[in-house]
Amino acid sequence: MIAEQHGSESRLCIEGELTIYRAAELKDAMLAALDREAALELDLSRVTELDTAGVQLLMLIHQTARARSKRLRLTASSPAVREVFALLHLDPYFSDGPTSPSISEKPQ
């Protein structure tokens, strides 16, 4: 995972699997970034695999951001992420409310 700071926003680029094997490690890093900043961008362009544990983690981060009135953006989704989001019809879930996420295909 690559972490960058841009003003009051943290940007985390998730590399490799977003699966049960890394969920605990990634959860801690994502929640810590959300605690520190008013906004968090998760760059998913380098995610090679996404399973239900990874989906649950993204949902947890989304819910936590909403509860804390923080902004969350999911950007640059890899083919693996887009496939799972399409299969589970998740785009509407991640595109509502004050978290202002956006799912895009290409890195920004």
Averages of pLDDT over runs of 10 residues in the chain (108 residues) are 75 94 93 90 95 96 93 91 93 63 43
- The gap from C-alpha 48 to its chain's centroid, in whole angstroms, comes to 14
Question: Domain-by-domain residue ranges, the chain?
Answer: 2-99
- The gap from C-alpha 80 to its chain's centroid, in whole angstroms, comes to 14
For residues 81 and 35, give the distance between their C-alpha atoms in angstroms, rounded to a whole number.
Answer: 25
* Residue 96 DSSP code: S
Note the pLDDT of residue 18: 96
For residues 103 and 90, give the distance between their C-alpha atoms in angstroms, rounded to a whole number.
Answer: 10
Structure-block tokens of residue 7:
């003003």
CATH number 1.10.760.10 given to 2-99: no
Note the pLDDT of residue 96: 54
β-sheet with 39-50: strand ranges across:
2-6, 9-18, 39-50, 71-75
Q: What is the pTM of this model?
A: 0.83
For residues 50 and 70, give the distance between their C-alpha atoms in angstroms, rounded to a whole number.
Answer: 24
Note the pLDDT of residue 105: 42
Note the pLDDT of residue 17: 96
For residues 25 and 51, give the distance between their C-alpha atoms in angstroms, rounded to a whole number.
Answer: 15
Structure-block tokens of residue 5:
């700071």
